[in-house]
């Protein structure tokens, strides 16, 4: 049950995002001009380099000063500003929609992981749109589901919000590999990829994330977790039910077992972080209980995914 | 094993219900989690925990079933067949001696603690288990015969009181062995005491358990207190008071001596560790006739055993002397006799006297009178002749005879000096040539003439004064009543009887016609208080300290009874818990908790085990906080 009491996005936060820019490690070829420097030469006013004149080049680009000095024809080259494709893959599986029930020891309400993912996606999408990058959003669970369609410009932000509000509810399991494979096959234009998921895939996350790198995407993982997953408040004789598979598991929980559980999940998170670091995949861990503003401004800035 | 209540075993049919209820209870609380990945991984990595997770429910069910089984068994009242075939007989010996009145540091006496221990054994009384309670209080007393009535046993035990007596444990154990000799089945002796005895042989086949109670304590005690008449001054008593310090510390204080509730003397003492203090002093009781002669010694120290801080002694008893005074009129003699409260005399005119009257009196005083035909050979009774004596010589009178020889060892002249007495005249006396069976002495002379003659023939005695007391200044001297008193005491053979002192627990045979009260008195108010009297007629064995009134005809005497035992007053030693094999009195060892545990019936042990397992099951499975 979703218990997020706050609105998905408010205008105050939007004004802050105006100051942020996405920092891209590579500049990809773009079809239209966007507010980012490209290493491609183009028709801007910024001088980039010279090259030898070849038959058919525009005579207006010939540097006559060099010709006067060297008696050779050189063509001026200018930097071209290129637009960036940013893809947001949002995990919509049952585990993302899970939240710990309220109890005597847990009385606070906070966003579900899914809502948190949508807020992050909306925030980053807004930044991308504001920077005239091309933005697309996708849902995935056991496979890649529907997408929003590429949008560009801040005027298209409403489409982002609409898409995020109309998220499908399947209660499916998380399968990263088929989902990201489908994405890689579908999307030909490379760019940034943000995977917003808890990565609770029984088949693993390594191959799926590696697939993105192999397909020339600049991947970033935002692993979203619920505090109750890190420190479950479960004692006694329990029958645990998996939110995705419905499988049950009998357990008698005590302090020792909980400590062992926490060791296990922290080891998993560390392994994810280490894997991302090794494979030059951006990584950020986000708790669903952290206020969204802090999350975006602090965590993402630290990870240099955005800069002001 | 046999069950006294086998119907309770039918509850075992509820076992399937318990299993069913347990299975229903096993329905766990369902909780949806985002993923089972990490939970499964934990149990996979910790296989032992996984195994325990699987087995713990089974273990809990087994514990529940075991608890239920123990409860059913307890309800069924089990008993070992070995005990049932011939039953069991237990002799419970309660040490009720004086030392058991010692007050322990927690304020309870050793006796109360011992009763509580024995009370726990009474639970074993049952259809096949008989018990008898012996109380050791100077002698072995059978408080109740063999019975399996637990209520009756408890009532009997509650009514037992400690005594002031000292005695050995061995006779009690010996008696217990004899009681059990004719019994069949399991035989056991349980002895609760604060001080065990050395080994003594016992009967094979009988198990003896010694259960200690109390702790070692320091104590100061009066170990001896008695009075006796001085041989040469029967009216004066010599008192012995002995104190002992049974501790490793110096003890100081005062011993107060009372005579008939009146403080007579205070004797300070300063005792070294394990020291002894002896006091011997003289007491001259007042001459008033209403004195009882009760001596009481009390220590002003406070210690663990107050009983031995007080002791009793009775002054020697004196009986009145019946005297016949044959005289015309002798005011001096009458006054001298009246002054002594222990003398009862009658006046008789000489002409009325008959010699046969002498047998009715302890002594006859013939003042200036000698019956005609009086013969020493045939006379019966004791006589004091004054002036006219059977020894008067016809030769005449001695004028103003001085006292030249005086035998101070003579009982007549004890504490007397007559040399300064002036006699106007005295008769000349001469001892008979043929004294026959008489033995004569002359304790007082004037030169060669006897002034006083004494004679003895068997139990018969006589004394003769050669002078008339009125013809001297003797009546004006203090020596006169003493002379008369000494003479009468010698004539009557009066020796103050040493008072009888007994130890509590000691047996005294009573002469025919004697009776003695069985309840002691310790204060003057009790001496005259009217109360129901219980009398012993044949023998007397007191168990409480104090004064006991002994009656013989019209004569009464007080018997003082004390504990006066170093063994009872020395509280520094403690018994050790022992459970002996059947062939010895005290050997091997066993812990006190084990001994007490064996006092519990089997069903109670089952119930306790069930409770212990129930607590364990709760601790293991239900103690956690659950939501």
Q: Do A254 and B624 touch (CB under 8 A)?
A: yes
pLDDT of residue B260: 84
Sequence-ordered list of residues with C-beta below 8 angstroms from that of A214, at least 6 positions apart, any chain: none
Q: Is-contact B257 B239, C-beta < 8 A?
A: yes
Q: What is the largest CA-CA distance in chain A?
A: 90
Cβ contact, residue pair B28, A239, below 8 Å: yes
pLDDT tens-place string over residues B183-231 = 888 888 888 998 766 555 556 778 888 888 888 899 999 999 988 877 6
CA distance B335 to B333: 5
| The two three-digit tokens of residue B511, written as one number | 């002469």
User: What whole-number distance in Å separates Cα of residue B368 and Cα of residue B389?
Assistant: 8
Nearest to A238 among B31, B38, B42 (CB): B31
- pLDDT at position A26 is 32
Q: Helix, strand or coil for residue B489?
A: helix
pLDDT at site B479: 87
- Strand (E) or helix (H) holding A229: helix A227-230
Q: How many CB pairs under 8 A join A and B?
A: 94
d(CA B281, CA B345): 33
Query: Rounded to an integer, what distance in angstroms lies between the CA atom of residue B516 and that of residue B533?
Result: 9
Of B88, B71, B68, nearest in space to B79 by CA: B88
Residue (of B464, B444, B262) closest to B376 by Cα position: B464
pLDDT at B102: 94
Instruction: Tell whether A43 is within 8 A of chain B (Cβ).
Output: no
pLDDT at B588: 31
Average pLDDT over residues B257-280: 90
Contact A260 B625 (CB under 8 A): no
A281-303 mean pLDDT? 74
Complete DSSP assignment for B74-100: HHT-EE-HHHHHH-EEEEEEEE-SGGG
Per the model's pLDDT, the better-predicted residue between A76 and A266 turns out to be A266
Question: Which range, A8-17, B283-292, B410-419, is most confident?
Answer: B410-419
User: What is the average pLDDT value for chain A, to the nearest integer?
Assistant: 79
Give the side-chain half-sphere CA count within 13 A for B302: 1
pLDDT in tens, B41-54: 887 776 666 677 66
Is there a contact between B36 and A249 if contact means CB atoms under 8 Å apart? yes
Pairing of strands B514-517, B535-536: antiparallel
Measured at the CA of B475, the angle between CA B469 and CA B479, to 5 degrees, comes to: 110
Using a CB–CB cutoff of 8 Å, tell me whether A308 touches chain B: no
| Pairing, β A37-52 against β A74-81 | antiparallel
B391 versus A130: the higher-pLDDT residue is B391
Residues in chain B closer than 8 A to A232 (CB atoms): 33
Q: Kindly state the average pLDDT of the residues A124-140.
A: 86
**Which residues in chain B are contacts of A103 at CB distance < 8 A?**
627
How much is the pLDDT for B38? 92
What's the helix, strand, coil split of chain A in %, to 5?
35, 25, 40
**A270 interaction partners in chain B (CB closer than 8 Å):** none
Chain B residues within 8 A of A240 when measuring between CB atoms: 31-33, 36, 39
Work out the average pLDDT over B553-579: 80
Cα dist. A15→A116, A157, B65, B237, B509 in Å? 19, 14, 70, 124, 123
Give the span between the Cα atoms of B194 and B208, in whole angstroms. Answer: 16
Predicted pLDDT of residue B355: 87
What are the chain B neighbours of A239 within 8 Å (beta carbons)?
Answer: 28-31
The interaxial angle of helices B47-75 and B602-617, nearest 10 deg, is 150
Question: Looking at the predicted structure, is the pLDDT value of residue B493 above 60?
Answer: yes
Give A1 or A48, the one with higher predicted confidence. Answer: A48
pLDDT tens digits along B291-302 = 778 889 999 989
Contact between residue B621 and residue B55 where contact means Cβ atoms under 8 Å apart? no
Q: Are B504 and B98 in contact (CB under 8 A)?
A: yes
Whether A242 and B33 lie within 8 Å, measured CB to CB: yes
**3-state SS assignment for residue A11:** helix
**Averaged pLDDT score across all residues of chain B:** 83
Query: Quick one: tokens of B450?
Result: 């006897």
* Residue A3 pLDDT class (50, 70, 90 cuts): very low
pLDDT band at A2; cut points 50, 70, 90: very low
Angle separating helix axes A176-186 and A206-214, nearest 10 degrees: 10
**Cα–Cα distance, A81 to A38 (Å, whole number):** 5
* Residue B310, pLDDT score: 94
Q: Tell if the CB–CB gap between A237 and B26 is shorter than 8 Å.
A: yes
Does pLDDT of B305 surpass 90? yes
**For the complex shown, is ipTM > 0.85?**
no
Q: Tell me the CA distances in angstroms from B572 to B115, B163, B566, one per residue in order.
A: 21, 20, 11
Distance CA B428, CA B433 (A): 15
């Amino acid at each position: 049950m979703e218990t997020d009491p706050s609105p998905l996005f408010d205008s105050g936060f939007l004004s802050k995002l105006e100051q942020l820019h996405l920092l891209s490690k590579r500049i990809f070829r773009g079809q239209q001009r966007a507010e980012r420097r490209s290493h491609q030469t183009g028709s801007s006013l910024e001088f980039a380099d010279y090259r030898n004149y070849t038959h058919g080049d525009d005579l207006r680009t010939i540097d006559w000063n060099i010709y006067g000095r060297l008696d050779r024809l050189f063509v001026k080259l200018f930097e071209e500003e290129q637009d960036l494709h940013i893809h947001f893959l949002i995990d919509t599986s049952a585990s993302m929609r899970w939240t710990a029930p309220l109890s005597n020891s847990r009385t606070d309400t906070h966003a579900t992981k899914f809502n948190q993912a949508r807020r992050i996606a909306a925030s980053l999408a807004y930044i991308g749109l504001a920077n005239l990058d091309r933005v697309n959003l996708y849902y995935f669970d056991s496979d890649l589901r529907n997408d929003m369609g590429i949008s560009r410009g801040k005027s298209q932000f409403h489409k982002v919000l609409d898409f995020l509000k109309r998220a499908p509810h399947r209660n499916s399991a998380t399968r990263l590999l088929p989902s990201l494979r489908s994405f890689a096959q579908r999307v030909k234009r490379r760019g940034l990829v943000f995977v917003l998921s808890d990565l609770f895939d029984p088949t693993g996350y390594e191959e799926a994330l590696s697939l993105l790198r192999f397909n020339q995407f600049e991947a970033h993982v935002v692993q979203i977790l619920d505090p109750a997953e890190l420190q479950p408040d479960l004692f006694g004789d329990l029958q645990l039910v998996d939110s995705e598979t419905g499988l049950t598991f009998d357990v008698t929980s005590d302090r020792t077992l909980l400590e062992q559980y926490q060791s296990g999940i922290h080891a998993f998170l560390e392994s994810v972080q280490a894997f991302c670091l090794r494979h030059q995949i951006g990584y950020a861990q986000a708790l669903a209980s952290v206020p969204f503003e802090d999350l975006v401004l602090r965590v993402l800035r630290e990870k240099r995914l955005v800069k002001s | 094993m046999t069950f006294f209540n086998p119907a309770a075993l039918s509850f075992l049919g509820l076992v399937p219900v318990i299993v069913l209820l347990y299975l229903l209870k096993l329905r766990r609380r369902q909780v949806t989690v985002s993923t089972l990945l990490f939970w499964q991984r934990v149990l996979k990595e910790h296989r032992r925990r996984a195994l325990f997770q699987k087995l713990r429910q089974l273990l809990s069910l087994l514990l529940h079933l075991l608890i239920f089984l123990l409860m059913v068994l307890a309800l069924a009242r089990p008993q070992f067949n070995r005990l049932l075939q011939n039953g069991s007989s237990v002799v419970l010996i309660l040490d009720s001696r004086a030392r058991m009145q010692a007050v322990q540091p927690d304020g309870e006496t050793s006796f109360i603690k011992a009763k509580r221990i024995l009370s726990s054994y009474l639970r074993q009384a049952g259809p096949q288990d008989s018990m008898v309670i012996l109380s050791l209080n100077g002698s072995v007393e059978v408080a109740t015969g063999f019975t399996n009535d637990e209520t009756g046993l408890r009532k009997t035990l509650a009514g037992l009181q400690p005594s002031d007596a000292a005695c050995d444990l061995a006779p009690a154990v010996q008696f217990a062995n004899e009681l059990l000799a004719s019994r069949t089945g399991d035989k056991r002796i349980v002895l609760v005491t604060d001080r065990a005895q050395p080994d003594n042989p016992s009967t094979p086949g009988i198990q003896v358990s010694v259960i200690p109670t109390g702790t070692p304590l320091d104590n100061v005690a009066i170990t001896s207190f008695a009075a006796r008449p001085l041989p040469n001054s029967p009216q004066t008593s010599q008192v012995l008071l002995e104190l002992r310090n049974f501790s490793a510390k110096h003890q100081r204080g005062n011993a107060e001596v009372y005579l008939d509730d009146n403080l007579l003397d205070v004797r300070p003492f300063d005792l070294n560790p394990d020291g002894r203090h002896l006091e011997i002093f003289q007491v001259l009781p007042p001459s008033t006739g209403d004195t009882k002669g009760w001596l009481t010694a009390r220590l002003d120290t406070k210690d663990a055993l107050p009983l031995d801080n007080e002791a009793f002694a009775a002054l020697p008893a004196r009986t009145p002397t019946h005297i016949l005074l044959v005289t015309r009129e002798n005011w001096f003699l009458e006054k001298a006799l009246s002054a002594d409260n222990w003398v009862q005399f009658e006046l008789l005119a000489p002409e009325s006297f008959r010699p046969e009257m002498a047998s009715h009196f302890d002594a006859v005083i013939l003042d200036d009178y000698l019956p005609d035909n009086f013969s020493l050979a045939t006379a019966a009774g004791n006589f004091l002749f004054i002036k006219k004596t059977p020894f008067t010589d016809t030769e005449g009178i001695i004028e103003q005879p001085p006292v030249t020889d005086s035998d101070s060892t003579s009982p007549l002249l004890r504490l007397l000096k007559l040399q300064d007495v002036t006699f106007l005249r005295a008769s000349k006396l001469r001892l008979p040539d043929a004294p026959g069976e008489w033995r004569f002495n002359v304790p007082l002379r004037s030169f060669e003439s006897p002034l006083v003659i004494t004679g003895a023939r068997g139990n018969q005695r006589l004394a003769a004064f050669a002078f008339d007391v009125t013809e001297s200044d003797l009546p004006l001297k203090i020596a006169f009543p003493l002379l008369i008193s000494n003479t009468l005491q010698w004539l009557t053979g009066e020796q103050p009887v040493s008072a009888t002192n007994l130890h509590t627990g000691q047996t005294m045979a009573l002469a025919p016609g004697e009776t003695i009260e069985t309840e002691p008195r310790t204060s003057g108010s009790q001496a005259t208080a009217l109360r129901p009297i219980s009398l012993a007629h044949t023998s007397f064995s007191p168990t409480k300290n104090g004064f006991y009134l002994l009656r013989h005809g019209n004569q009464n005497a007080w018997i003082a009874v004390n504990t006066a035992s170093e063994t009872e007053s020395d509280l520094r030693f403690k018994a050790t818990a022992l459970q002996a094999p059947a062939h010895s009195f005290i050997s091997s060892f066993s812990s006190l908790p084990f001994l007490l545990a064996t006092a519990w019936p089997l069903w109670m042990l089952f119930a306790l085990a069930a409770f212990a397992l129930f607590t364990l099951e709760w601790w293991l499975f239900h103690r956690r906080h659950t939501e």
